Structure 1
Amino acid sequence: MSSSDHTPEAAQNPQAAAQDWQRWHERRVETVSSAYGPLSLTGTHWLADHPDGRIDGVPGRWRDAGAEVLLSAEEADGISVDGEPLVGEVSLGPDRGPIPASRVSAGERRLAVLTREGLWAVRDFDPHSPARRAFKGIEARGHEPAWVLPGRFVPYEEHRTVQVENADGRTRGLGLAGRIVFAHEGAEHALHVAVEGDGSLWAVFADAGSGRSSYRFRFLRPAAPGADGTVTVDFNRSLLPPCAFADHFICPFPPPGNTLPFTVPVGELNKL
């Protein structure tokens, strides 16, 4: 369930809103703790760091061939591609679907091919990961109507890309399409956002409590703006980024201007 999955009753009835939020929270815990959720990621291996194609702990030989990845395997590697054992070589593109549908598997593990800014990587998802076994839940604060704020989306004249540090310590481009503007305690604030393929918005933000009362940054995913630009800014649906659950994700940090001067004490706060 996305952060925009609000029922019509919830928009009008505080009790319905609280129940709607509780269903959203329970669905999030289920998704995060699922066999191939973010807790199962045990490594993101950039092929540029492995020029010989050998990755410690990952079977097969993985080579950057420019426009594709070449994977070669022997029977002893135990690799399957599209459900069939691989002995020989195959060309791979990036996996864009759900992790369970990744083309390459090794037993229960899923080896997903990733590309970022022309660089190739292999992600290793293991349902028996230590992080998944240790997971106890998500610390979150229940729905508070005061943190559902009316806002408006102001698009840029043209999309822009800003360079931001990522969780793995590298700097990468983050595409942005506009701002959501809203008021809090009588002052106007804004968050720079991207527009997703379905028209919904995505913000990476921090606040005055980040790194103390909550994780160091979070995501917010408002539904697509109305025809007049109106948008609901529901901080109750603030999300922990994937890197809060596994160290091997490359989540972008908030872009300049996306650190709010007040604490947002609602939504997902930390992993338990």
Structure 2
Amino acid sequence: MSTTDAKEQWAAWREQRTRTVSAPYGPLALTGTYWLADAPDGRIPGVPGRWTEDPGTGDAVLLTALAEDGLTVNGEPFEGWIRLGPDASAGAVWVAHGERRLLVLRREGQWAVRVFDPQSAARQAFAGIDAFDYDERWVLSGTFRPYAGGRTVVPVENADGRERGLSLAGELALGSGEHTLQVGAEEDGSLWAVFADGTSGTSSYRFRFLRPPAPDPDGTVTVDFNRAHLPPCAFAEHFICPFPPPGNTLPFAVPAGERCAHSG
């Protein structure tokens, strides 16, 4: 691929990132993450209804509401009770209160409700994502080496101050192999890394995400730092993004990829 084609594809990726982040229910719209463990009575501040973990199985959230609560489920007025699974699961339903969407989250056995509001202050103030200029020198060759024992989980601090397990699948060697990143693997085989570098906290956000494609059968993969992107917590403080695991702070600056979000 020529540099011109690669730069045009990167520009298209940048435009798509802006559309995704600024969508009505994108990251900028998150106004709260409420853990049910912190609400033993099932009442969430500013959110109608009663939200509790299913006491029988623990594998769902029970939502109980009155007609006057003004909730809708899949666009229809709701009253009574309903079992809700994580919103990323198959068959998930949409619970809303006016324009706000109320999504159920499960993380490490704990349940939470997230509130997305398209009228959030962050979304209204958003003025774009700043990024370093495209630089083909930051398109590197890499080699993925899966862990011999399969996936491993390491404890890392999260943006909300809590420590949680981060699932890692192997090591990604950059270029000649002098530097490596510990990476996770998605169901489609693509990789995922949380990393920091010499720009973190100065000319870019304190850490960033990187999603290389699935490696070839021999482990080779292209690592394009021009597509390093901001984590969701760079747009709304209510996300619980993981910090870089041990060894994922590169000892040099990576002036490529997204830097920070702009507000108007």
Q: Deviations over 1:236-266 (max 9, x none)?
A: 0001000000000010000000000001111
Give the one of 211, 214, 218 matched to 1:228: 218
> How many Å apart are 1:187 and its aligned residue?
6.8
Query: Bigger CA drift: 103-112 or 199-208?
Result: 103-112
1:38 alignment partner in structure 2: 27
- The alignment partner of 1:211 has SS state of coil
For the structure 1 residues 230 and 187, does the alpha-carbon distance in structure 2 shift closer, same or farther, using more than 3 Å as the test?
closer
1:55 alignment partner in structure 2: 44
1:211 alignment partner in structure 2: 201
2:247 alignment partner in structure 1: 257
- The alignment partner of 1:271 has SS state of strand
The letter for the 1-side match of 2:169 is A
Is 1:147 equivalent to 2:138 in the alignment?
Answer: yes
1:88 alignment partner in structure 2: 80
The letter for the 1-side match of 2:238 is H
- The alignment partner of 1:120 has SS state of strand
Is 1:132 equivalent to 2:126 in the alignment?
Answer: no
Instruction: Report if aligned partners of 2:34, 2:114 keep a CA contact under 8 Å in 1.
Output: yes
The total of aligned residue pairs comes to 257
1:29 alignment partner in structure 2: 18
CA-atom RMSD in angstroms: 1.4
Q: Percent identity?
A: 62
1:108 alignment partner in structure 2: 99
Could you list the runs of 5+ residues in structure 1 that have no partner in the other structure? 1-11
Is 1:20 equivalent to 2:9 in the alignment?
Answer: yes
Query: Separation in 1 of the partners of 2:227 and 2:42?
Result: 41
Q: TM-score, normalised by structure 2?
A: 0.95
Give the one of 100, 109, 112 matched to 1:118: 109
- The alignment partner of 1:175 has SS state of strand
> How many Å apart are 1:199 and its aligned residue?
0.6
Query: Bigger CA drift: 86-95 or 147-156?
Result: 86-95
Is 1:182 equivalent to 2:171 in the alignment?
Answer: no
Q: Deviations over 1:175-223 (max 9, x none)?
A: 000011013xx77100000000111000000001201110000000000
Instruction: Report if aligned partners of 2:84, 2:93 keep a CA contact under 8 Å in 1.
Output: no
Query: Separation in 2 of the partners of 1:117 and 1:21?
Result: 35
Q: TM-score, normalised by structure 1?
A: 0.92
> How many Å apart are 1:17 and its aligned residue?
1.1
1:245 alignment partner in structure 2: 235
2:162 alignment partner in structure 1: 170
- The 4+ residue runs of structure 1 with deviation greater than 3 A are none
Could you list the runs of 5+ residues in structure 2 that have no partner in the other structure? none
- The alignment partner of 1:139 has SS state of strand
The letter for the 2-side match of 1:24 is W
Q: Deviations over 1:30-72 (max 9, x none)?
A: 1100101100000000000000111111111101122211101
Instruction: Report if aligned partners of 1:102, 1:111 keep a CA contact under 8 Å in 2.
Output: no
Query: Separation in 2 of the partners of 1:148 and 1:232?
Result: 7
Query: Separation in 1 of the partners of 2:93 and 2:81?
Result: 17
Query: Separation in 1 of the partners of 2:32 and 2:73?
Result: 19
Query: Separation in 1 of the partners of 2:44 and 2:79?
Result: 18
Instruction: Report if aligned partners of 1:102, 1:110 keep a CA contact under 8 Å in 2.
Output: no
